[in-house]
Amino acid sequence: MNKKNLRYYCMSITLALILLMLGCKKDLQQINKSPEIINTPESVKILKVRKFISVISEVPFDKVTFNPTSNQYIFGRDHFDQKMIEDLYDKSNIYHAEYEKK
């Protein structure tokens, strides 16, 4: 190989690597867009009740969800009415004393 061909191959490989690296570049604007969390009394209560359900039912916290359209707490196959669960949460003095110490 002569120097001209070697230079041509090196430039081609360098160009291919640059294009590959640019193609793999992450979109930083999309990564930085995280949902804005609003701490309202309702959302704080929902988080506390989710933790309560997680503790009393021994279900991982991330498996306990709240569906605002049906007003139900969901964990596993179980669906419970929001009012019923929140009433149970409000009346659980031992839970409050044990897990929500200030």
pLDDT in tens, 6-30: 777 777 787 777 766 666 655 555 5
pLDDT average, residue stretch 60-84: 91
**Apex CA 80: angle with CA 56 and CA 58, to 5°?**
20
**Tally of domains in the chain:** 2
Q: CA dist 76 to 2, 45, 65, 68, Å?
A: 69, 21, 10, 17
Together in a domain, 22 and 45:
no
Q: Which residue's structure tokens are 């190989």?
A: 1
Q: Are 45 and 94 within one domain? A: yes
**pTM, two decimal places:** 0.60
DSSP string, 43-76: HHHHHHHHHHHHHHHT--GGGEEEETTTTEEEET
30, two tokens: 């999309």
Judgement on whether residues 19 and 45 belong to the same structural domain of the protein: no
Domain that holds residue 25: 3-32
Q: Are residues 95 and 50 in the same domain?
A: yes
Q: Are residue 93 and residue 50 in the same domain, yes or no?
A: yes
